[in-house]
Amino acid sequence: MERTNQTTRAIALSLEESQRSKTREIITIDDDDDDDSENNEQTRYQADLQTAIKASRATAQEPQSIPSQQIGGPRAGQHKTGPSSFLAERAKLEKERLERQKRLRGGTSLGDDTDRKDPQSDTESDVSMGEPPTKKAHLSNPLEGMSVPSVSAGASSTSDTKIFWDGELRQTATRFAEPRKDGQRTFRLTQVLGNKSELAFAILSSYSLDFPWIYEFFDRSVPVIMVAQPDAMGQAAIKYTFPTWVKTTPPLRGGFGCQHMKFMLLFYKNGNLRVVISTANLIAYDWRDMENSVWLQDLPMRPQLMPPDPKAKDFPSIMQQVLHAVNVAPALRTMLPDHPNIPLRTIEDLRMRWDWSKVKVHLVASIAGKHEGWPSIVKTGHPRLMMAIRTMGLRPSRGLGKGNMIIECQGSSLGNFTTQWLNEFHWSARGESAEDWLDEPKRRREKLPYPSVRILFPTKKIVQESASGEPGGGTIFCRRKQWAAKNFPRDKFYVSKSKAGPVLMHSKMIIATIQHTNPASASLNREGSDTEEDEPEVKIIEPAVGWAYVGSHNFTPSAWGTLSGSAFNPILNITNYEIGIVFPLKDDAEANRVACFERPPRKYTTNVDEPWIQEESIYHQPEAS
């Protein structure tokens, strides 16, 4: 009874706050890359905190918006939070991160990302996870049976919830571009969740959270496990936040990094399971103002249990590893005594009880920590991406040279790019093993030219001319210090512009296209190596145009990982927990349709275009004390 009363009071306070804080949202938060100085982080945190306080007291009018239920919000009359709860949550996360840094570094100033070393290795503290796919491609064409998720059709309807048996990829609806300029369909949060009366259980994951806001989308009786950002100590923890909600947090090595995954596992009373991979946090701002990406697929329950297979490397087995890594197993055990009838009793039930045979995309995850040795390395970060590309049959021939693949990387946060890391990532993006270069001297790798990479990021003009203007650019991150660095790859930058209209994007996406100089020579290299020991055999006759990635990974070392060590004993360090999907693209038309940005992207014009740098905007300055 006491917990119920506390919940009621919390929701009432949130409703009261939302009535007070109807003001134009100027969202300013810290990014998910841990690569700035402590003084700057302190300044940004104080600015965020003051903005949150100010927003909670504001009484100005909110800009014109369409009804919240049309953008995935609760029905009219239900609670609708302003920016204060969102900012307070992000400010809390930032405060905890600063506390970890103070504790571990004794208050010393932080250097660049490249200067901060992992305490257990000689590389920067970045690490990721994902596992090699299991399904063997016995195809003459890599696209056969591996089609891209539908972007419009393929849905059937049961009650009030549409069913997507073949998978569906869409951008989210925003109040600034509805309908979309390109005419493509969108997802709202209510569509993603389906009819809430049909839900039996859910597992959700988000970096930034507005608990009272997301709570309104669920019936009070539905048990929910929420995977969230750890506290300042980076300790794994489990606690009840609402009567039927359990919050769980994974560990962060040394207190660094963030739990950046955005996914949902939605279990329905009719036995179906919906799997959702998203780029949106569970906050109103991400589902209303910023454009994001969502992939989902519905799965039926098997008529009979599938026997467990500890050697499996398919989508559900990787998802199970993710759930173990982010501390869901103990949360599930905590929940079972009060909810004995939930459809998932153990994490291993996920693969055994539901039919995953129609899931054709590959799961790529990053698990924060240090990973050592090839069996571990190929399960995580960009080496896992490499294995997925090989399984899809999209590994270009070595004979085509380094410039044979162009990757276009769209995100909302930039890292401190070096030629070493960009070549490292590009090597994996081509499906090539790091064994080929790990033993080369570091000095030689430092002198390599930049690979065929296009980094998509909005210019200052794009932000200013968007519907939300500069106030809406508070979750897009590039710093003057990064941009002005001597060896920063400024000539690799391209304009990020949404196909939907004048809206800013929070989507993370990579479009990779293979440039074959001689298609007849594009056969797989079958030289033996540790990374190829369990690689499925794939025969290529007509190569695909490339592949696409959609998920939580920004294009940074913190998200994808950094390799060191030797070809015999590699070491991969990843800072963040991340998750996404990879799938093949059959032609340029499909690449253009899947991309959330206008293609081909326009290259920055020297001395004319500059990236959006929020710290230089008058809307994102710390208030004077």
For 612, counting Cβ atoms within 10 Å of its Cβ (0-12 exposed, 13-18 middle, 19+ buried), the class is buried
Strand ranges, E, within 422-491:
453-457
Q: Measured between alpha carbons, how far is 338 from 107 in angstroms, rounded to an integer?
A: 44
Sign of the alpha-carbon torsion through 128, 134, 140, 144: negative
Sign of the alpha-carbon torsion through 430, 611, 208, 127: positive
Q: Own/partner pairs for 221-224, CB < 8 Å, 24+ apart?
A: 222/196, 223/335, 223/338, 223/339, 223/342
**Residues flagged as binding site for substrate:** 262, 508
Phi and psi based region of residue 282 (left: phi greater than 0; alpha: psi -120 to 50; beta: remaining) = beta
Q: Measured between alpha carbons, how far is 97 from 257 in angstroms, rounded to an integer?
A: 8
Q: Measured between alpha carbons, how far is 492 from 603 in angstroms, rounded to an integer?
A: 8
**Residues flagged as binding site:** 262, 508
Instruction: Give the Å distances, CA to CA, from 144 to 185, 334, 410, 541, 583.
Output: 25, 43, 27, 12, 12
List the one residue out of 257, 225, 247 whose CA is nearest residue 101. 257
516 flagged as catalytic? no
506 flagged as catalytic? yes
Strand ranges, E, within 378-508:
405-410, 453-457, 493-495
Q: Measured between alpha carbons, how far is 505 from 171 in angstroms, rounded to an integer?
A: 10
Contact (CB, 8 A) for 327 and 346: no
Q: For the stretch 546-575, what's the b/e string if a residue is b when 16 or more beta carbons lie within 10 angstroms of its beta carbon?
A: bbbbbbbbbbbbbbbbbbbbebeebbbbbb
* Residue 273 bridge partners (DSSP): 267, 299
* Residue 578 bridge partners (DSSP): 366
The neighbour count for residue 586, using CB atoms within 10 Å, is: 18
H helical segments located in 292-450? 315-325, 328-335, 349-353, 374-377, 381-391, 419-429, 442-446
| Annotated active-site residue in 79, 382, 426, 506 | 506
Phi and psi based region of residue 607 (left: phi greater than 0; alpha: psi -120 to 50; beta: remaining) = left
**Phi and psi at residue 254, to the nearest 5°:** 70, 10
Residues 6 or more apart in contact with residue 428 via CB below 8 angstroms:
382, 383, 385, 386, 389, 434
Give the neighbor-by-neighbor strand order of the sheet with 493-495: 362-366, 578-585, 546-551, 509-514, 405-410, 453-457, 493-495
3-state secondary structure of 305: coil
Strand ranges, E, within 458-535:
493-495, 509-514
| Annotated active-site residue in 79, 260, 371, 620 | 260
- Cα 605–chain centre separation: 29
Point out the residues that are catalytic: 260, 506
